[in-house]
């Protein structure tokens, strides 16, 4: 059993853009196949460039604000309550062109 207090976790830069901050609730290796589970705050104007994960599903659940997810060349506006699952190999990126922060929880599941 493990209890984590989100309020006591450090803000860390995400791997694709150090200016975007995350808090990791469950780290890689703690649960088989789970790459990480955490939260992130996307400030206005921030973005993650297009990239892909060949052996990982990535799931984002939007809590507040709005963002644009580009997946396989198409833009999708998402907001509170939306959940996006990105499959292995799908080219994707995110941006916040709006005036408010967007927050989400997200996790990755390895396929290898």
CATH of the domain at 67: 2.60.120.10
Instruction: Evaluate whether residue 1 is within a structural domain.
Output: no
Q: Considering only CA atoms, which of 52, 43, 53, 71 is closest in space to residue 109? A: 53
Q: What does the angle CA 98 – CA 22 – CA 20 come to, to the nearest 5 degrees?
A: 45
Instruction: Evaluate whether residue 46 is within a structural domain.
Output: yes
**pTM score, two decimals?**
0.84
Q: Which residue has the tokens 């309550």?
A: 81
Share of the chain above pLDDT 70, in %: 100
Q: Measured between alpha carbons, how far is 68 from 80 in angstroms, rounded to an integer?
A: 13
In contact, 105 and 84? CB cutoff 8 Å: no
Task: Return the pLDDT at 25.
Answer: 86
Question: Residue 55: which domain range?
Answer: 6-96+104-110
Task: Return the pLDDT at 4.
Answer: 83
Task: Return the pLDDT at 48.
Answer: 96
Task: Return the pLDDT at 60.
Answer: 95
Instruction: Evaluate whether residue 30 is within a structural domain.
Output: yes
Low-confidence ranges of the chain (pLDDT < 70): none
Tokens of 109: 């599941």
Number of domains observed in the structure of the chain: 1
């Amino acid at each position: 059993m493990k209890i984590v207090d989100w309020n006591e976790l450090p803000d860390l830069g995400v791997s694709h853009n150090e200016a975007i901050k995350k808090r990791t609730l469950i780290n890689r290796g703690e649960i088989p196949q789970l790459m990480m589970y955490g939260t992130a705050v996307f400030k206005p104007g921030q973005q993650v460039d297009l990239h892909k994960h060949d052996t990982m599903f990535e799931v984002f659940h939007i809590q507040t604000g709005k963002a644009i997810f580009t997946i396989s060349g198409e833009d999708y506006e998402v907001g509170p309550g939306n959940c996006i699952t990105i499959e292995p190999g799908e080219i994707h990126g995110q941006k916040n062109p709006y005036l408010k922060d967007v927050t989400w929880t997200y996790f990755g599941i390895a396929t290898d």
